[in-house]
Chain A
């Protein structure tokens, strides 16, 4: 027999997805996330050959070689991410406690 009750775990995983999307969106909009001119962008319409000429595939960063870049806004993004993480954790933790109560004989 199927019930029409929504599965609460799905609401949790949906919340994870939505919050991660929100965090990533905030991140993408952050002032320090994409300053122009560090690496030429590849046009999405460029052919494979053109793209390879315009900008080689970025390799994994070599040891010790880092990019100072523009770090403004990173603290704010970190703050938002931490708030999302704590909020998400409290929500799932409360759900975990509720499940434990139901499991108790």
Chain B
């Protein structure tokens, strides 16, 4: 029988498990609901904003790793770029879904074509095209090079679609965490849970990213062995 050893990774994952459990408890039972929102709907901030944060971070990683691929032509950078872009799409979908539920409660409809909703749709389409491009090119080196160039161009749109466009037009969306005066107006308990959630989701994102990279590396290794 195989002996099980507890590694540093196991320890960190155990901390993540408990951390997120505490965040969930704090988000629902410890932090108060914010004023100006219907019922308890403001609690979605503890999940919606961190998912959007991890999505933006993933697209940034995809951008940096794509540059690294073009510089070095090392296929490991391509694996990382692909993994982070896929993670970015998943977390963007999660941010969209949680935002739509909030919209249904606050504004009576899941979708209102608000500037934020529209810009996140564009972002999803841009990164969906990244995977369409990868699927369309059979040669691995050519695929990696084209995808890297596309990922760099795609990331140029991220600051505009995530930060600029929603602030230019009138929006139903509540004021951002760091508001236009550059301050944070949030109850101290809410703020603590929010920051803990941000850290927890970032940890979860890093774990999933690492896992995706390792699986992709294994898949490529298996393919090479078959060939």
Contact = CB atoms under 8 A, between A and B. Distances in A.
B36 A3 contact: no
Nearest to A59: B175
A23 B101 CA distance: 11
B9 to A, nearest CB: 8
Interface string A56-81: 01111111111111110011011001
Given A39-B36, A41-B107, 11 more contacts: A3-B223, A17-B93, A20-B98, A27-B44, A27-B101, A35-B38, A67-B32, A67-B34, A75-B28, A78-B24, A99-B218
B215 A67 contact: no
Contacts of A21: 97
A33 B226 contact: no
A74 B28 contact: yes
Question: Interface residues of A toward B: which range?
Answer: 35 or more
Contacts of B227: 1
A102 B112 contact: no
Nearest to A84: B24
Contacts of A44: 107-109, 112
B14 to A, nearest CB: 9
Question: Interface residues of B toward A: which range?
Answer: 35 or more
Contacts of B207: 92, 96
A103 to B, nearest CB: 7
A96 B173 contact: no
Contacts, number: 191
Q: Which of A1, A60, A71, A92 gathers most chain B CB within 10 Å?
A: A60
Contact of A63 (B39, B177, B186, B212): B186
B35 A51 contact: no
Interface string B198-227: 000000000110011011101100110011
Given A9-B215, A39-B106, A60 B179 contact: yes
B187 A66 contact: yes
Contact of A81 (B28, B34, B176): B28
Interface string A1-40: 1010101111011001100110011011010111100110
B128 interface: no
B29 A74 contact: yes
Given A34-B105, A48-B170, A103 B39 contact: no
B21 A82 contact: yes
B28 A34 contact: no
